[in-house]
Structure 1
């Protein structure tokens, strides 16, 4: 857990001079980009050194979006690197979530701002009776782009709980490093979301790219950015999962921290197993949020009866959001398979067509399931009743639609507030 702040949080003291702005509206569906170099980064031990080295070497620009930054050793190193980059003239833009970063002190953020970092908070809100109320519709993406030439995207936040030395609560998670043509798409997306002016793509590159997700070729190194927002891309990430599982012929492996998808995806997972596909789920066995485990287990009987294999990761909390299908399709990103990620949060994944990457991810997940998981025995799972699925269906769609209808909960329109710390 993050240590208690020494002063009031930035969400409680943020001073806004300009009007509230919305992130850049994106009306494009990014197409497949070929000839990329993609590398899987597992946990903070692989991720932080690679990201920090790229930032230290930045010459012109750093774009960063993240859900969580803690004022621990990781967050402090991040702060030092960003300050140094801004002072040497690197155009540095940082977008933080007001809930996930709500405990950052004003001093931490003011140091960034005064060094020249363009800093903004997504939906900051003070505590009421000691409780944060801005639970819904979070900026949940984790994206870093440096100099428009290298991008990182995945599920890892800038916090020490992604390192093994944090202890039993250290998270198991994944990200990817990408170099190649796909970085231009991720850069374009992150730049629009930041709200900062920059060189837009040409109009013929901005046109909508509606393509069939599984229209595969024989080439490796292909990457496509997919995201969900609350404008025109409500179901984009869910749709790529549906299409991939529907097209699976040999195997499907999904490792996801918070698994409570809608009926459409559950049905496709079940149908894949019924037609002989080797379907494996790696889910939380030692959850950081108990309700997530309870929700996931509501789906077990339905899936196990169809032949789906379920493994619960019990070494430490699983935080990953990755999947693979057959021998060349994979996805890594920030999106869980639950109502918050699929219906409310702002998320981003990359879909990857690369056999070597798929094999690497499969081998790591295979090691996880064989050596660090407990396989769920179908005989030990209580027989499902119709009310289990009925309740699950109602809960999922309640969470999916109610915040859009209820005015007292956060609306779907995303808002960014530029940070202006106390300068006295």
Structure 2
């Protein structure tokens, strides 16, 4: 403050001592000095705000890692309110929606759970509407779809529009389950597999009404509705009509639906229809459905294989898990193999460790190794910690070692803390 006062007095003295021409120059100097001081002050305030936002964000993210979602919700709410324009404030909207959904799952009161899920939908909607260019919009769409499906199943039909609008977009762009390999400090949370839905492109009112009636009829008199839907799917001329009919038929539990789904998954000319049929086959309990999926995998392209991996994992049949294990061991395509390793870790937990560690030992692909590290870390048990410590001690690749240390840092394990302290003390 004393320094600023001296500068002002000095400039004022120059102004008084100068002639008319000099005074104009001094006045310009005063204006430039004031403007520079204002800009410096503004930049300092922005830097301070950015630091505060980052500190709050990191604290909230830590609560997400620790699954203390109630605390995370409060912090992300605060972050979104105070620093809405910053990157941290925008990203907070996604994690707020995520944390609300996770917290809702722990509630026994149905009304409270649904209210919390609806609040999550609102925050995700805000992110997509107000910040459409944000990197988290894609993840928000998939999470919103998952929550919308649960709300519709709970009887809140107004959320059906999110399924109608969002899922088709996800299927058209073939959103992968794992968009990228996990890299600290972002917590990688693979979104749920997208659920095929009625496309958003409208049909003529008469046809639309007919489909709504068929959807209702399928729940009341399946024998009448099934042959009509089957004909629409197998011989319909309109792609939109076929997609809508498949969506309705796919939700049926009737065994006679399976052969229709298999026929579409194996032979249909539309990639979109094949992917949708594969998804619905993954939801079936029949051995016939799983056998068809395994057969399709043998000749599928890489993109279709990633959809099939989701179907195997969702099916939860031991034969499907065995197929994922086989793919994780032998698949030539590194991206497909990495995703198989991810699903193996997700479905099998510690039982997958021998395959994961053998794959880590035998591959030179750094991205696959990062995927394995993440799969091990997600298990979160004592065995995972000791396994990661052993890998960290032996690993010579700096990036991989850094990845392992990062995941150990997310653990509450005393063993992990001891190892990290040993690294610091070296």
TM-score (normalizing by structure 1): 0.30
Q: TM-score scaled to structure 2, two decimals?
A: 0.30
Larger radius of gyration: 2
Structure number with the higher helix fraction is 2
